[in-house]
Structure 1
Amino acid sequence: MAASTVEQVALQRLDSAASRNTTTSKNTPAAVTPGTDLSPQPTVEGLIAGGGENEREVSSLPPTDRGRAAWTILTAVTVIELIVWGLPYSIGILHKYWVHDMFPGSESTVTLASMLHNGMLLVGVGLCGPLFAVLSPKLVLPIQLFGLVCGTLAFVLTAFVTSPWQLVVTLGILYPLSSLLFFPCITILYDWFVERRGLASGIMFGGAAVGGTIFPLMTAKLLSSIKYKPTLYTIAAMFGACNGVAMVFLRRRVPIAPVAPGRRALPPIDYGFLKRRGFWEMIAFISISSLGSFIPSVWLPTFAEAVGPTNPGGTGLVAIMYASSSFGNPMVGMLADRFPVGYVIAGMCTTSALATWLLWGLGTNSALLVLFSMVWGMFALPLAATWSRMISFIASDNCFVRGSINFASGRSRSRELG
């Protein structure tokens, strides 16, 4: 939708420029007026990406929503999502190890470090929207590499901590800089997917749900088998290697064109969305619903213990919940592509409310609690899969808005399995 509109506008501008040039050439075939601009006419890519001299046609651009290139991009951004947002789910396992084995008696500081990284990661994503809206596209890759190095280094340094406050520095401050690696992935994904953007967003956000399911189990297994330092080395190597390989496949659909001297690399930021009531309604809805979506993941283990022994236990129920959301995200995204996003959200909220009332409220046995975990994971947690359609409807893909939504929502990643 948005990309197609931009290309149509670019073609119209090219036609107008061609008409003016034809008229000028007929009137003054051999004369050149002093001060006349003899630079090549801007190409479609130049009009889209900020100006340039590369002569290409819009038809030469790779297709959106289909083809190997588009699905390769989707795979790459899903891997980055899985690693950057999935690994923090394992902090609950590490928190237990720090408190009981490394720093007994320092639970408050360790807990601060364990929770600070998530909050700062959300703040980082919120700030990335305005940052990348004003930076030249040529600076995106170096900034992503900086985020990759910071995230990898955070886990390496965590292996050498000798005091609880050092965890605050390594995981609470250094790791959140990995948000610089993640945020441009959303813009790139939106460039490649237009009509099926909801499905693509759902698949990407489902990556973190997969990470939230497997990483706590993996971390617990590593701690019991190869001990603490090798576990952190393994996590750091996985973070650096997987994200590094994924970055190799990231590329823009519209290449970055050279910018003529004296011209802006990017158009001015349009703040018109701030005057729209729909934007503030969206922020309020996402903030409130995100606060409520994690209540079951916090209290379900306690509830399961209170009503009696269940199989699986509380942690297993939460794992089922996140595993279900890995399937729910693509499903919700696909529905948002085919139906009005308001109807999709209303259906999600109604289904989640009924599940809470009937399944959790009457859940005195394992079967009902497992069913509730599956329904909640399928319909409540995948709220992020609807964001892309909200953004397109309200602000036409403004990345400033994407950062605001991520910050307001708590990124739907505010709890760890532990």
Structure 2
Amino acid sequence: MSEAAAASGRGVFYGWIVVLAAFLVMFTGFGAAYTFPAFFEPLSDAFGASRGTISLVFSAAGFLYFVLGAVSGPLADRIGPRPVVGFGMACIGLGLIAASFAQSLAAVIVFYGVGVGIGVGFSYVPAIGTVQRWFVARRGQASGWAVAGIGIGTMAAPPLAALVIGAFGWRGAYVIFGVAVLLLGALATWLLRASPASMGLQPDGAAAPAAKAGGPPSGLDLRTVLRHPVFWKLYAVGWLGCLGTFVPFVHLAPYAQDQGLSRLEGVWLVGLIGVGSTLGRFVLGGIADRMGRGRALALIILMTGVALLYWLTATGFTALAIFALAFGLFYGGFVALIPAYTIDLFGLRAASAVIGVLYTSVAFGTLLGPTLAGWAFDATGSYLWPIVVCAAGCLIAAAIVAFMPKHLPE
């Protein structure tokens, strides 16, 4: 019996299994990355480093895992997603285990920053790019459910890491998380399938005619996309919108401690970003399918900037929790919609490659935002100007998206 027939016999469209596989990739990879707030203080105490320097550990990983999408995306288009994603998951797990043996902060940057950075860079884009091939009408919803793994990983991993660090120390925690990534990553890689055509299906669950099952996908090739001014407008959106996206992930916990909250309360606030993010990914992707993904994306980026400005006024756990939930909601919607909106514009022909190149814009925002915010705090004792600049970037990005076309001709 063929895989397609087996899937049909169970009444399950295999595209949703691919969504589950991508969910596991996001959950394990980004969950491991977003344990960082729980390690912030232990690493600072162990190596006597400032906030700006400690922030560089996370920023280095974030820069790599977004910029490497430009490599992993085209590679997955060429050889299929499974070997690329499998390699990425192995890098994350082994990088975390190696970080447990670090004797200097530079070694942590190499093992955690580079290991997790390369690993997520080789798994995220191929996984989310694969989901795009399995859906058309429900692409926003499918993308949202897949990247909900990031939200749930963000929600669960920091508090769990804090508990594990309390029981086994930061070195033991890195080993435990590394082994977990290797196991879950292997399962996710096994479940992935490159496209519905490879299983005799077509997007959204209909049986594909045999003669068309291997036909080329529609859309623009990568070279054409890179020559198009609309792509570079979207690239500017990625850079400006993500300049502030990862600042709360790194600095919300120490910001809360500056207000007199405990380290565990600060870590829980980062977890609440994950709660909001999960809701945004599950709910906003489906809403965007109905109201228009471009219009929804512009509104979401605008509200991200508003949430950052609210952060400046938030004092105490309750107010910071409201910020974390609201920011997470819009962050989750952004992550869910960017891949789907990109495919709406440029088509499926070079899906993973186009998404991978686009995500290099996110890489520069990720590298600069948290690090500059940390250095600004070290210099001024305040996060005021970093937050204002990040919010302004969101407002400009929202305006750019609002005037983008709905689709491009082939």
Q: Same fold (TM over 0.5)?
A: yes
Give the aligned residue type for 1:250.
L
Alignment of 1:194-205 (within 5 A): 194-205=136-147
Larger Rg: 1
Contact 2:245/2:366 (CA < 8 Å) preserved in 1? no
Q: Which whole-Å CA distance do the structure 2 matches of 1:227 and 1:84 have between them?
A: 21
Deviation for aligned residue 1:411: 9.4
Contact 1:85/1:208 (CA < 8 Å) preserved in 2? yes
Q: Which of 342, 352, 370 does residue 391 from structure 1 map onto?
A: 342
Q: Which of 182, 191, 202 does residue 249 from structure 1 map onto?
A: 191
Contact 1:317/1:373 (CA < 8 Å) preserved in 2? yes
Secondary structure at 1:85 match in 2: helix
Q: Percent of aligned pairs with the same residue?
A: 21
Contact 1:85/1:413 (CA < 8 Å) preserved in 2? no
Alignment of 1:154-303 (within 5 A): 154-178=95-119, 179-252=121-194, 253-255=196-198, 269-296=221-248
Structure 1 residues 413 and 201 mapped into 2: Cα distance closer, same or farther (>3 Å)? farther
Q: Which whole-Å CA distance do the structure 2 matches of 1:305 and 1:145 have between them?
A: 38
What's the counterpart of residue 79 of structure 1? 24
1:374 aligns with 2:304: no
1:119 aligns with 2:71: no
Give the aligned residue type for 1:283.
Y
Give the aligned residue type for 1:292.
G
Structure 1 residues 348 and 132 mapped into 2: Cα distance closer, same or farther (>3 Å)? same
Q: Which whole-Å CA distance do the structure 2 matches of 1:393 and 1:241 have between them?
A: 34
Secondary structure at 2:34 match in 1: helix
Q: Which whole-Å CA distance do the structure 1 matches of 2:36 and 2:90 have between them?
A: 19
Structure 1 residues 73 and 372 mapped into 2: Cα distance closer, same or farther (>3 Å)? same
Structure 1 residues 366 and 311 mapped into 2: Cα distance closer, same or farther (>3 Å)? farther
Deviation for aligned residue 1:239: 0.6
Contact 1:305/1:314 (CA < 8 Å) preserved in 2? yes
What's the counterpart of residue 288 of structure 2? 336
Q: Which whole-Å CA distance do the structure 2 matches of 1:163 and 1:363 have between them?
A: 35
Deviation for aligned residue 1:75: 1.0
Contact 1:355/1:372 (CA < 8 Å) preserved in 2? yes
Number of aligned residues: 346
Deviation for aligned residue 1:124: 1.6
Contact 1:122/1:406 (CA < 8 Å) preserved in 2? yes
Q: Which whole-Å CA distance do the structure 1 matches of 2:230 and 2:124 have between them?
A: 27
Deviations 1:85-128 (A, max 9, x none): 22111123334323323x34698876544432222222222322
Contact 2:300/2:330 (CA < 8 Å) preserved in 1? yes
Give the aligned residue type for 1:196.
R
In structure 2, the gaps of 5 or more residues are 201-215, 372-410
Deviation for aligned residue 1:214: 1.6
1:129 aligns with 2:73: yes
Contact 2:144/2:336 (CA < 8 Å) preserved in 1? yes
Give the aligned residue type for 1:168.
I
Structure 1 residues 377 and 254 mapped into 2: Cα distance closer, same or farther (>3 Å)? same
Contact 1:158/1:170 (CA < 8 Å) preserved in 2? yes
What's the counterpart of residue 401 of structure 2? none
Q: Which whole-Å CA distance do the structure 2 matches of 1:187 and 1:272 have between them?
A: 18
Q: Which whole-Å CA distance do the structure 2 matches of 1:239 and 1:213 have between them?
A: 16
Structure 1 residues 143 and 129 mapped into 2: Cα distance closer, same or farther (>3 Å)? closer
Secondary structure at 2:336 match in 1: helix
Deviations 1:215-238 (A, max 9, x none): 121222112212344322211210
Contact 1:384/1:412 (CA < 8 Å) preserved in 2? no
Secondary structure at 1:231 match in 2: helix
Secondary structure at 2:244 match in 1: helix
Secondary structure at 2:117 match in 1: helix
Give the aligned residue type for 2:185.
N
Q: Which of 357, 373, 377 does residue 404 from structure 1 map onto?
A: 357
Q: Which whole-Å CA distance do the structure 2 matches of 1:225 and 1:311 have between them?
A: 15
TM-score between both structures, scaled by the size of structure 1 = 0.70
Alignment of 1:26-175 (within 5 A): 67-101=12-46, 103-104=47-48, 112-133=56-77, 135-137=78-80, 140-175=81-116
Contact 2:37/2:250 (CA < 8 Å) preserved in 1? no
Contact 1:222/1:231 (CA < 8 Å) preserved in 2? yes
Q: Which whole-Å CA distance do the structure 1 matches of 2:319 and 2:54 have between them?
A: 35
Deviation for aligned residue 1:251: 1.6
Deviation for aligned residue 1:196: 0.8
Secondary structure at 1:67 match in 2: coil
Q: Which whole-Å CA distance do the structure 2 matches of 1:367 and 1:232 have between them?
A: 31
